[in-house]
Structures are given as C-alpha cells and as structure tokens.
Amino acid sequence: MTDPDPLFPLAFRWGVATAAFQIEGAWNADGKGPSTWDTRAHRPGGLAGGATGDVACDHYHRLTEDLDLMAGLGIGSYRFSVSWPRVQPTGRGRWNGRGLAFYDRLVDGLLTRNIEPLLTIYHWDHPQPVEDAGGWAVRDTAARFADYAEGLAVRLGDRVRRWLTLNEPLSVMHAEMSGPPGPSSREHGLRVAHHQLLGHGLAVPRLRAHVPGADVGISLNLAGMTPASDRPDDVAAAARAEAYEDRLFLDPLLRGDYPHLDGTPVIEAGDADRLLIAAPLDFVGVNWYAPARIAASATGVFGYTRVPVPGADTNVLGWPVVPEDFGALLAWLRETYPELPPIEITENGYPGVDELDATGSVQDLRRVSYLRTCLSQVRAALDAGSDIRGYHVWSLLDNLEWDHGYRPRFGLVHVDYATLARTPKASYRWYTQLVTTRKDGSPCSG
C-alpha cells in the first residue's frame, strides 16, 4: 500500500489534536475547580472501568515532554483545548492565575518549537457551578461562555491567532438529552444546541475585538448520512438525520437559519439570535471518524437510528471502518454549501487496543492504513475543488476516551497509565515521515 500523493499545498497545516479533560490530569491542582466531567467520573459507575480524569496522561506536569514529542513529529499546528474550570473555576468572575499560567507555558512552548497554537475554547468540560445553574439548557450559559472566551482572548490573544469556539456541539446536545425518547427529550436537546450556537455567536466579535487578524472557526462532527435502503421511510429518515445532525449547525452558521423539515425550521429562533449565530467564520473545523447508515425508527428521538454498514469491519468502539467514505462527506460539503469557508480537518483518528509488544513497541498498522486512506480522500477532495487548509490527527496521546474510559487508544504515542511512560508508535513514525516530506511539497494542481 502506498502513501497518499505527496503533492499537498505548500501552506497545508499538519497537526495533532487533544482535549484538556482527556490528557491534563491535575484535576484539583493549583486552584482548578471541578468540571462536569470530574463530577461524572467520581460518581460510582460513572465512566467505564471506574476511570477518572484525576491523573489521565498527567500532561499538566509533563508538558515539556509532550511538547518535545510534538516537535519530533515536525508538525506545524497543535489543536488543544483550555479547561474552563482550570482558568475560571466558577464559570463567572474570578480568574485563576495559576491555571492561566499553565496555558501561557503551553503556548510559549509551542511557539518556541515553531508550532502554531489552534485553541479550542470549549471541549465539553464546563465548570460544575455552570451546570448547577442549568448548563447549556439555560440561555445565561451562552453569556457566561462569551465572557470566558473574551478573557482567554485578553490573556492569550497576543500569541494565539487561531481559535475554535466549540468542539462538537452536536455531541454535547446528545449527551445532555435527558429522559425517555419523546418531545421533552427532543426539545431539551434542541435548546442545548441553540444556546451553544448563541454562545458561539456572542463570542466571535469579542475574539475579533481583542485579537486583530484572528482566524475564528468552530469544530463540527459530521458523518454523511446514507439511507439504509431505498425504501421511502429510510430515505425520509436519512433526510431527518441530515437535518438534525450534519445540517443542524452548518445551516444557522452559514445561512442564518435552521434547516427546515416539512416547511418548518427544526428550531424556532428570533432574528437577533440568528444574526448573532451567523457571524462570519474564517474556517470550519471538520471532525470525521465514520459514515452513518440511517434507517427509520419508531423509538428514536428524531425518528431514525444508525444501523451497521454492510460488509464493513468495526473498531474497538463499534464504529464502522470505512475510510473511503470520508471523500463522500467532503464532496457533500462542497456541493451543499458553496458559501462554505475554508475547511480544517480538526479531528480524524482510529481507536485501537494498542498494547506494547515484546520489544516494547506498538505496531498500530491498522491506524496507519486508516489514516493513509483518509488522507488520500483529502487529497482527492483538494483536486475536486475543496478548500482544505489543514489536517489534525486525533490524537497525540492515548487518553481518557470519555464514557469509554481508557481502553480505546487513539494516540500516535502510547501511554502506560500505570507509569505514564510515553512510547511513540509505528503511526508516530509514519506521520513524522509524511509531515516532513509533504509540508514542503509542490502546490496541488488546479
């Protein structure tokens, strides 16, 4: 199997991505307050295997080692998130100087190594006091979020030019939908979605006010919806899935209105909110792992369900492994949204078990194959006219995979959770070679 065509654009950004809760540890160190995920993890039966983020990869105390691992890759971009409760423990008012100092060190360490920061303001771990006040189900959280974003811009905006407001608001919506399937669950989820977008819209002008020349985007998890059959009910279900997932955030961000089903917007929003949400973006972050096959369902909250992809292998998380379908999603974006700003691939990765072998190495060749095929799809999309500016592997390190605990491993670097030793995998070496041979390649054709 050959590597993808080496002719990526000269300015194409190669990077890796992480998130604060999944790697930092130090859950109550130096003035950090509890996050909603700390609370969840500390409850009996909270996360698989009794996992917590108390230590995680201990990135907070091993920052220099991890920065050097990034430098060894030769990447030019590092996507990370700030832990809101680390820098503003109550989610309003007082800032924690020791927490902010950690991100000063992180940003300065990146710049010293010629790696550009790509800062995600919110990657799911809001302060517990924000949740106690209603979380994203209440409108006030959007205002709190905008204040928080502005504070980060004031502190870090002299060194950070590239910002993502939210990571995967769709995932947050699904996680916060409560109760049995039905109207109450659906209405709650859509309220959470709208308030996240409102927070984004309020934050964008504040970022621009404090960071002249800022590049501001948002990171969305998109799948690409295909009906499970040509039966009318499955075709209609796939259209609903597209409206409630892939288009739920893109339409208001890019077109100023929520998608319509049967002539009615899936979320009713006032003109002022819609105008705020549609603040111009410099780029859209795309997170992609697997395609979706959709069938009608009488029990699904929105009237549809995901079904297995015929003939596809599945990974440790049960996701279908069909990297060839990444190109279909990129084509759908190109054809559906001619107004789409440049794309940045902000996450793309493969979960494995990834144990050390007798020689102390990890031969994660399935990950290499998956990433290689995904990149060939990116390359083909560039040739077809997609404006894709960068690609970030999820993830630099094995880490805490949220509800799934520590068993699924996404990293280019293996982490021994008992000793916290880092061991670069075969995929790390492959990506290093790819980055160092492609980042100075010839411009793509067209």
Q: What would the pLDDT profile of 374-401 be if each residue is shown by its tens digit? A: 999 999 999 999 999 999 999 999 999 9
CA–CA gap between residue 443 and residue 446 (Å, rounded): 9
Residue 112 reports pLDDT greater than 50: yes
The tokens describing 358, both together, are 């007798």
What pLDDT shows up at residue 6? Answer: 55
Residue 214 reports pLDDT greater than 80: yes
Is residue 7, in this structure, part of any structural domain at all?
no
What pLDDT shows up at residue 444? Answer: 33
**22 annotated among ligand-binding-site residues:** yes
Residue 1 reports pLDDT greater than 60: no
What pLDDT shows up at residue 446? Answer: 30
Is residue 1, in this structure, part of any structural domain at all?
no
What pLDDT shows up at residue 313? Answer: 98
**268 annotated among ligand-binding-site residues:** no
The model's confidence at residue 47, banded by pLDDT at 50, 70 and 90, is very high
Average pLDDT over residues 30-48: 98
What pLDDT shows up at residue 180? Answer: 63
Domain of 348?
Answer: 13-440
Average pLDDT over residues 117-139: 98
Question: What integer best gives the mean pLDDT of the chain?
Answer: 95
What pLDDT shows up at residue 437? Answer: 86
Average pLDDT over residues 316-324: 98
Lowest model confidence (mean pLDDT) among 112-126, 169-183, 305-319: 169-183
Is residue 339, in this structure, part of any structural domain at all?
yes
Residue 439 reports pLDDT greater than 70: no
What pLDDT shows up at residue 10? Answer: 82
The pTM for the full model equals: 0.96
CA–CA gap between residue 53 and residue 40 (Å, rounded): 10
Average pLDDT over residues 2-30: 88
Please give the residue that has the higher pLDDT: either 94 or 446. Answer: 94
Lowest model confidence (mean pLDDT) among 58-62, 111-115, 261-265, 399-403: 261-265
Is residue 291, in this structure, part of any structural domain at all?
yes
Is residue 3, in this structure, part of any structural domain at all?
no
CATH number at residue 326: 3.20.20.80
What pLDDT shows up at residue 9? Answer: 86
Residue 223 reports pLDDT greater than 80: yes
CA–CA gap between residue 179 and residue 93 (Å, rounded): 33
Is residue 446, in this structure, part of any structural domain at all?
no
Are residues 277 and 210 in contact, defined by beta-carbon separation less than 8 angstroms? no
**210 annotated among ligand-binding-site residues:** no
What pLDDT shows up at residue 443? Answer: 33
Please give the residue that has the higher pLDDT: either 2 or 416. Answer: 416
> What is the Cα 331 distance to its own chain's centre?
20
What pLDDT shows up at residue 440? Answer: 37
Number of folded domains that form the chain: 1
Is residue 5, in this structure, part of any structural domain at all?
no
What pLDDT shows up at residue 386? Answer: 98
**402 annotated among ligand-binding-site residues:** yes
The model's confidence at residue 442, banded by pLDDT at 50, 70 and 90, is very low
Q: What is the pLDDT of residues 174-187, one digit of tens each?
A: 999 866 666 778 99
Q: Annotated active-site positions, please?
A: 168, 347
What pLDDT shows up at residue 179? Answer: 63
CA–CA gap between residue 326 and residue 223 (Å, rounded): 8
Is residue 142, in this structure, part of any structural domain at all?
yes
Residue 118 reports pLDDT greater than 80: yes
**401 annotated among ligand-binding-site residues:** yes
Residue 224 reports pLDDT greater than 70: yes
